Amino acid sequence: MAHNLRIDPTTPEGEAIVTLFNLIQADEEEDGTWNAVDAVDTLCRWFRERGIDIDAGPIEPHATGPEPLIVSRFDIAMEPAPEEDPVLTIGAIADNAQPVALLFDREDRVKVAHWLLGGEQDDIRIRRTRHAERS
């Protein structure tokens, strides 16, 4: 079956697909066949490891999450009081001039730091470009 799909194993999605391929290959019997029960168990485990509830029913193939919030200006950052949860609050202005409060727990701070250090800048640019094209 010919298609134009290219899997980039350096992306999280591509890595997940390659991992699944390797897991299924590991289930292959010496005669080139697969035990159906083992293959289904492997596939179900792979889905569960990615937070997909296999009992929830079909997932729409083109389902998308919420539109990304594009922030054009940061106004203020507020550290929490020592007795509060360690959540950093950043006051910002969205591209549509709406004021926004961004809340970052420790895990979110690590993600943002990674983005700012260049780890995912290309991905952010792509998402921002797609959002701008839809507007």
pLDDT digits (tens, 9 = 90+) for 50-97: 888 888 888 777 656 667 677 777 766 777 677 777 777 778 887 778
Confidence of residue 18 (pLDDT cuts 50, 70, 90): very high
pLDDT at residue 124 tops 60: no
DSSP string for residues in 9-21: TTSHHHHHHHHHH
Confidence of residue 32 (pLDDT cuts 50, 70, 90): confident
Average pLDDT over residues 25-47: 89
pLDDT at residue 120 tops 60: no
What does the alpha-carbon distance between residue 81 and residue 88 come to, in Å, rounded to a whole number?
10
- pTM comes to 0.41
What does the alpha-carbon distance between residue 40 and residue 57 come to, in Å, rounded to a whole number?
16
**Residue 15 near residue 23 (C-beta atoms within 8 A):** no
Name every residue whose Cβ is closer than 8 Å to that of residue 66 and which is 6 or more positions away in sequence: none
Coil vs helix vs strand at 60: coil
Q: How far is CA 50 from CA 5, 22, 45, 69, 111, in A?
A: 22, 16, 9, 24, 18
